[in-house]
Structure 1
Amino acid sequence: MKQRALHLAYAAVVVHVRAHQLLGTEAAQGLSLTNREREVLSLSALGMTTREVGSALGISVSGVNFHIANAARKLGAHNRTHATSLAIDAGLIAV
């Protein structure tokens, strides 16, 4: 009986994780990031600081933060790193 319960618990975890992956991907596919949002996240993914991203794109630090915040909001991310990770996973940016 205990082994059966363990198998069921394992199956539930596997199904939950896979459903989360699929739903997250489908939700992200319907998203549209602007070119600038994708540029900012792509450079962030390369490890650039906010100041370095701004310098590379010719925009201010507050401009970089603005685009990151918009992208994070659209992706449902909690911060810059989370937004970058979600964008990569969804195929919205490449590294």
Structure 2
Amino acid sequence: MASRSMVVTSDACPDCVCLTCHVYAPTDHDERENLLLKMADWSWPLTDIVVTGDFNSVQSHKLDRYGGLRSGRPKSAALSYFTANMDLEDARILAKLIDENSLL
């Protein structure tokens, strides 16, 4: 697996440290599950982490581009484990909550 890294700094907050990890998960189910399980168990640094990319899976079929016509189970148990283990939130879910709360 190729490895690339980049450090980004900003004058707005020179002391802030945030790790950004971009993922392009395999389309093959077993390879994808293996990658996500390995990532969940990595020794991540103790800093804010933003994970972006194409996971080739969804946490909620309602967010899938094909709509919510499938079962309520996540397509990837490893994706659910990864996000729970890393204490991550899907930005689209958070944006929906913000929109709903702004109506109050």
Q: TM-score, normalised by structure 2?
A: 0.29
Give the structure with the larger strand fraction.
2
Q: TM-score, normalised by structure 1?
A: 0.30
Greater RCO (CA < 8 Å, at least 6 residues apart)? 1
